[in-house]
Amino acid sequence: MGKLDFKPGNMLYPLPAVMVSVRDKEGNDNIITVAWTGTVCTNPPMLYISVRPERHSYKALHETGEFVVNLTTEKIAKATDFCGVRSGRDMDKFEQTGLIKGEAKKINAPVIEDSPVNIECRVREEVALGSHTMFIADVVHVTVDDSYMDERGTFHLEKAAPIVYSHGTYFGLGESLGTFGYSVRKKKKKRKQNVNKSKGGIISCPCLMYCYDNQKRR
C-alpha cells in the first residue's frame, strides 16, 4: 500500500452540512445549504461560513450581516440537499421543502424549527478570499430542541441523528468510538463485595463458585 500525490485542493472531510437561513432588507427569506463552515473561537463564541458571491443568499448576508446556522439531521437530509442545489430566486424554499419557519430571538432572520439546533449569528468580518467569501460571525443566541435534553440538563445531539457531508455524499455519524479524553482516562477499579461479619452476611467468592454463610465459618 502506497501514497498518491494530489494537486492542492479541499480534502478536509467530512464536514457538517448546515442550512443557513437569511432575510434580506426587503423581508424575503431564503435557505442556503453550506458545508464550508466551522468554529472560529470558543470565547467569545464565533463561527464562519464561506459562500460564493454568485449565490442568491450572498446579497442578504452582505447587506444585513445576520444569519442563522441550522444543524441538519437524517430526517431533513432531503431538504438539506434541495436547499443546496436549487436557487431561492424563483421560489420559497420553506414552502417547497415543507420546513417549518420560526423567528430568531436576537436577530432579524428566520430559523428552521425542524433543526435540533439554531445558532443565531451576527457578522463581525467579511473576507473575500477567491471563489468564496468568508463571513466571520459572533454567535449571539442558540436554541435547542428540548426533546434531546436529559434529566441532568445535558443536550444529546447524537439522538437527533445529525449528518455530515463528504466528497458530494451525505452520511450519518454511526456509532460512538469514545468520549473526549478516553485515550488517557484511567479505568475505574471494580469494587470488591464487602461482608459485614458481625451480621452474618454472605461472602462472594471472586470466581463466583462458592458462597459461604459467615456464621458457619466461625
pTM for this prediction: 0.84
**Residue 177 included in any domain:** no
Average pLDDT, rounded, for the chain:
90
**Residue 178 included in any domain:** no
The phi, psi pair for 11, rounded to 5°, reads -120, 15
Which is more confidently placed, 74 or 192? 74
Q: In what order do the strands lie in the sheet with 29-34?
A: 29-34, 18-23, 66-70, 117-128, 133-144, 46-51, 37-41
pLDDT of residue 203: 38
pLDDT of residue 79: 98
Q: What is the mean pLDDT of residues 96-101?
A: 98
Nearest C-alpha neighbor of 109 from the set 141, 153, 75: 141
Q: CATH number for the domain including 112?
A: 2.30.110.10
Q: Are residues 116 and 213 in the same domain?
A: no
pLDDT of residue 201: 45
Q: Are residues 206 and 101 in the same domain?
A: no
What is the band of 210 on the pLDDT scale with cuts at 50, 70, 90?
very low
CB–CB of 103/50 below 8 Å? no
Which is more confidently placed, 191 or 206? 191
Q: Are residues 139 and 205 in the same domain?
A: no
**Residue 201 included in any domain:** yes
Q: What is the pLDDT of residues 102-115, one digit of tens each?
A: 999 999 999 999 99
Share of residues in the chain with pLDDT > 70 (%):
88
Whether pLDDT at 195 is above 80: no
Q: What is the pLDDT of residues 116-169, one digit of tens each?
A: 999 999 999 999 999 999 999 999 999 999 999 999 999 999 999 999 999 999
Q: Are residues 31 and 129 in the same domain?
A: yes
pLDDT of residue 1: 85
What is the band of 193 on the pLDDT scale with cuts at 50, 70, 90?
low
Q: Are residues 77 and 155 in the same domain?
A: yes
Q: Are residues 150 and 48 in the same domain?
A: yes
Q: Are residues 153 and 199 in the same domain?
A: no
Q: Are residues 197 and 168 in the same domain?
A: no
* Structural domains in the chain (count): 2
Q: Are residues 113 and 80 in the same domain?
A: yes
Whether pLDDT at 82 is above 50: yes
The phi, psi pair for 151, rounded to 5°, reads -65, -15
Expressed as residue numbers, the domain containing 58 is: 15-172
**Residue 144 included in any domain:** yes
